[in-house]
Chain A
Amino acid sequence: MSDFHLALMNYVQSGDLADIAEHLDDTKNTRRLAVYRNTFISSCIDALLRKYPSGEKLLGEDFFKTLSRQFCLSHPPITPVLAEYGENFPEYVRGFMLDNHPELGYLWDICKLDRAWYHAYFADEKPSLSQDQIESLIEDIESKSLSLHPCVQLIQNDWTVLSLWAQLRVGELSEQVAIEHNHENILLWRDNGRILHRQISEPESLFISSIYAGQTLGDAAQVAMQNGPIDISEIFSQLLLNKLLT
């Protein structure tokens, strides 16, 4: 990398002018370099605002931007596609809240749901099973393996925030919701361009994740049933009905 590129990159990410100064033809210009550093920070914050809208609504714009600014300075983008920035933001939020605002520990679950929404919305398209394929499944169904549609997202939250998130996603918080420190499993998917979600049980989540892992339907069912009560035919029908099996 040339000295110029290295010096400019170092300045933008750290604010340190030491190396870039020699490349300017007028030292009065150092102040104007701030445009590049400001744009770096504001572009990253905007990308996070777009990807984590519920997180921003919950925290408020100022707090969210402060948090985002800290994140972007310690985690600059790793690809040229800004829309993909901030994949590890929820994990950062978790650590930050644990250290500074434990009462907002559930924020990372909210951000995980925003991230899942993004992945479901922009996932690849893939044809679902045809009627013939569905009918051919019936014989010796337990030995068959299937795939999930790329839009399927399984999330396990530490806090019961689904109802809160669903309200934030469509507007502002309209009614009080109780948030408890209990696991919550959620299935999220795309249907005709809309993102739908449903709370599922732990065994149902295990059944779906086992299908994703390539296990036969029989093995997936067994793993799920060992974890607790589950109506396999009900969850399997739901997956078929929503065209989530391929």
Chain B
Amino acid sequence: MKALTKLPADAGICLKPEHFDDIPSKVDGHLWFEVHAENYLMQGGPRLEKLQDIAQRFPLSIHGVGASLGGPKPVNSEHLKRLASLVNSVPSAAFSEHIAWSGTDSNYMANLMPTPITSESLVRTASNIEQLQDAIQRPILIENPANYLTFKTDMSESEFMMSLVSKTGCGILLDVNNLFISANNTGIDPVKYIRDLDRTVIGEIHVAGHSVDPIEKDLLIDSHDSEVASGVWALLNDALSHIGSCPVLIERDANLPSFEVLLAERNIARNLILQNNKVAGYE
């Protein structure tokens, strides 16, 4: 099987332009970064130049948020061209996208909207994944969504994800924070969900902070605006005990703290990876 990513089995940080000049020259282990593809689809300028420089020094994962793999139509061809151009101009160790959709044709919603978990949707989503993989000439990782409510389905989400893997040869980006949120909001069993996935196709894990909805207090929102919650760390530990060695990313998109704060969170993830490697005898 073709390697799903070239990321080190260490912890990385979601990198924002605000932190470009804060990266220390020395850090423990193999630090890597992830960026949102759509923030670098511009034609040129200092931001893209800086990313190209960082990609020469650190493994880089490119994470798409706009391909609408779970949308009703083929992936926007212009968007595919721009993603391929980015992948060709910036050395990268991994590429991932969401099982979600944000719109179609000339109508978008700036949002990760839920994909129908149905046999009919499976066919369209698999075709879209193949389209993206063909465009960038490499396997991608697909990320499980954060769910706020349940829609009519004819299979479980983990079954849907594994079917996409077997149809397209892609891997899985297990977002533990999303899984924690989905479990809270819709009542699924997160531990069973993880066990239902083939651990050999999980190429990356995400953890992030979430928030409580201001009106509906039992609803968690995937806000990425705070530190990782203790329950998410615990679920990460469980996931690593099942999966073994795997790259883990600290995501933070809003209410951005200093780089040192993110580095400290990254070191918590790093220690969990190391502990679970020892237990599983991976060292």
Contacts and interface: CB of A to CB of B under 8 A. Distances in A.
A122 B42 contact: yes
A25 B152 contact: yes
B27 interface: no
Interface stretch (A40-48, A57-65, A92-100): A40-48
Given A13-B109, A36-B113, A80 B221 contact: no
A169 B149 CA distance: 42
Interface in B46-93: 46-49, 66-68, 71-73, 76, 79, 82
B279 interface: no
Nearest to B185: A32
Nearest to B45: A122
Contact of A43 (B67, B82, B111): B111
B235 interface: no
Nearest to A44: B110
B148 A35 contact: yes
Contacts of B44: 122-125, 150
B45 A80 contact: no
A33 interface: yes
A9 B213 contact: no
Interface stretch (B100-108, B157-165, B238-246): B100-108
Nearest to B66: A80
A122 B43 contact: yes
Contacts of A31: 216
Interface residues of B, number: 46
B210 to A, nearest CB: 12
Contacts of A29: 149-150
A9 B109 contact: yes
Contacts of B72: 1-2, 5-6
A26 B153 CA distance: 12
B39 interface: yes
Query: Which of B49, B76, B110 gathers most chain A CB within 10 Å?
Result: B110
A23 B66 CA distance: 24
Given A32-B148, A76-B107, A124-B44, A12 B113 contact: yes
B116 interface: yes
A154 to B, nearest CB: 18
Contacts of B282: none
A1 B130 CA distance: 20
B108 A5 contact: no
Given A77-B103, A79-B108, A35 B221 contact: yes
B8 interface: no
Contacts of A178: none
A92 B215 CA distance: 32
Given A8-B113, A85-B110, A121 B45 contact: yes
Contacts of B221: 35
Interface in A69-128: 76-83, 85, 121-125
Nearest to B124: A2
Contacts of B113: 8-9, 12, 36
A5 B150 contact: no
Query: Which of B149, B216, B219 gathers most chain A CB within 10 Å?
Result: B149
B152 A2 contact: no
Interface string B95-133: 000000111101111110110100011000000000000
Contacts of A242: none
A190 B45 CA distance: 8
B216 A32 contact: yes
A2 B114 CA distance: 13
Contact of B38 (A35, A36, A81): A81
Contacts of A143: none
B41 interface: yes
Contacts of A122: 42-45, 47-48
Contacts of A193: 45-46, 49
A148 to B, nearest CB: 15
Contact of B110 (A39, A124, A150): A39
A127 to B, nearest CB: 12
A33 B149 contact: yes
User: What 9 A-B pairs come out closest when comparing CB atoms?
Assistant: A80-B66, A122-B42, A124-B43, A43-B110, A193-B46, A29-B149, A5-B72, A77-B108, A124-B44
9 contacts: A5-B101, A9-B109, A32-B185, A32-B219, A33-B149, A76-B107, A78-B108, A80-B103, A82-B38
Given A2-B121, A32-B219, A150-B43, 7 more contacts: A9-B107, A9-B113, A23-B152, A32-B185, A40-B111, A79-B106, A80-B38
